[in-house]
Amino acid sequence: MKRYKVGYTTGVFDLFHVGHLNILKRAKEQCDYLIVGVSTDELVMEYKNKKPVIPFEDRMEIVKGIKYVDKVIPQMNRDKLSAWQHLKFDAMFVGDDWRGTHLFNEIEKKFNEVGVELVYFPYTPGVSSTLVKEKIKI
């Protein structure tokens, strides 16, 4: 029996790579049902000030095709408590590169109040969409 019934994670999932796959696999190992929020192009522009290489609809389809994922939804904002109110997940999974950031310190406080666990996974070293973009330029 898995530790959580419903798990949730989010991401841009641009230039899908093994780091993305690792977080989805690890999340699914801990929950019966995994919901993945894929950031819209507009949201990515808002907080990263850059447009993803792969269009939103294509990124949604790529994530839907991963065997560890049970449901894919658009992530239109970064309000994780609102997502929980709608989806009622038991745990949210995130890379440990977010640990200690202002955003996730606040999310952790709010989740503690409603009984949701925030689970950090080790970041896959040497892999990111930014690094893939840099390698392509060579």
Q: Encode pLDDT of 100-126 as tens digits.
A: 999 999 999 999 999 999 999 987 766
Amino acid 105 reads: N
Distance of alpha carbon 135 from alpha carbon 63, whole angstroms: 23
What pTM value is reported for the model?
Answer: 0.91
What is the percent of the chain where pLDDT is above 70? Answer: 93
Span 65-69, average pLDDT: 98
Query: Which residues belong to the active site?
Result: 48, 50
Q: Which CATH class is domain 4-137?
A: alpha beta
The DSSP H or E segment spanning 47 is helix 41-48
Cα distance between residue 127 and residue 64, in whole Å: 21
